[in-house]
Amino acid sequence: MKAIIQTKYGPPEVLQLKEVEKPIPKDNEVLIKIFATPVNRTDCGFRKPEYPLIIRLVNGLFKPKRKILGSERAGEVEATGKDVTLFKKGDQVFGLTGDNFGAHAEYICLPEKASIVTKPINMNFEEAASVCDGLMLAFNYIRKINLQKGKKILINGATGSIGIAAVQLAKYYGAEVTAVCNTKNLELLRSLGADEVIDYTKVDFTKNSQLYDVIFDAVGKSSFFRCRKLLKKEGIFYSSDLGFLVQNPFLALWTFIFGSLPSGKKVLFPIPKSRKEDVNFFKEVIEAGKYKAVIDRRYKLEEIVEAYRYVETGQKTGNVVITIEHNK
């Protein structure tokens, strides 16, 4: 089968399209023929680590243990191990690959209890492939707080995959959402449910006079100290990034130990977890018509280096998807 192989850390050019052995499912595994898989922030972070020590400790100090990246995918079950009961050949599925990645390829084997479920009936393969990583990361933050009707949340970086997921999940729970984005995406965010949008090219959102229960920096470009004046008493700050000198985990540890920062406000930094029950929940939200996929660009598998280059410009809206064509 064809797969994108990474044998060293570095720029997108370290990725190579190669023929590798097609996997065979173990007794508890399913073999999935992949039709679509995104290039996302997680993939980029493991290809060329922004925080080298942290990533290299889990993925190999000198060269990557995980040779095939790709943390989410959608496709069709081609074969099952003898002990598999949850899936059958021909099932259309979507979800996450877990810590081993492996979705930037024509096929992948995963345990049936992994974070995979049958695909939403109202999404095609490209749409279904593109939603889970952003949803999983946003949901790991949002489920840690009592986000409900009447609560106010500001989401910075609202047009990345995490931001778009956070906007729609926050609206699903009834919160009042203020989304920060650039000029071209103002109408998109309104269409996704944002109650107010702020154009960061014209306005510094940290000088907003509004107060919020939650501020979620979905792109890691701000900080608690810049945003703290916008938080209500006992307000919560989140960031999807570690921050300067690992600021956010440190402040989150302080919050965990003492219940809050000296100001009474909180910084939370949950460790993302991929769970099958969460993907089932995502499917329910999607099939209920409460969630839309946003795809910026599509590339073929052999164009994946170009896809990584575009993702790393930081200018994508939503997701960048790799479509995989199989020879008949």
What is the tens place of the pLDDT at every residue in 206-219?
A: 988 899 999 999 98
Buried b (16+ CB within 10 A) or exposed e, 90-113: ebbbbbbbeeebbbbbbbbbbbbe
Are residue 255 and residue 282 in the same domain, yes or no? no
Give residue 298's identity as a one-letter amino acid code.
R
Q: Clarify whether residues 194 and 302 are in a common domain.
A: no
In percent, the amount of the chain with pLDDT more than 70 equals 98
58 and 92 together in one domain: yes
325 pLDDT higher than 80: yes
Amino acid 252: pLDDT: 87
The pLDDT value recorded for residue 327 is: 78
Give the pLDDT of residue 53.
66
Domain boundary among 251, 268, 285: 268
> Domain containing 248: what range?
145-268
Cut 0.75: pTM above it: yes
Residue 138 placed within a domain: no
Task: Band the pLDDT of 328: cuts 50, 70, 90.
Answer: low
Q: Residue 61's pLDDT is what?
A: 79
pLDDT at 57: 79
What pLDDT does 141 receive?
A: 87
pLDDT, one tens digit per residue, over 291-315 is 999 999 999 999 999 999 999 998 8
Residues 127 and 7 in one domain: yes
Q: Would you say 120 and 285 are in contact if contact means Cβ atoms under 8 Å apart?
A: no
Q: 225 and 155, same structural domain? A: yes
CATH number of the domain at 207, please: 3.40.50.720
Residue ending a domain, among 221, 247, 268, is 268
> 156 and 241 share a domain?
yes
- Taking Cα atoms as reference points, which of 129, 134, 203 lies closest to residue 163? 134
Q: What is the pLDDT of residues 178-202, one digit of tens each?
A: 999 999 999 999 999 999 999 999 9
Mean pLDDT of the region 68-97: 97
Predicted confidence band at 273 (pLDDT cuts at 50, 70, 90)? confident
d(CA 40, CA 309): 11
Nearest by Cα to 212 from 162, 151, 140: 151
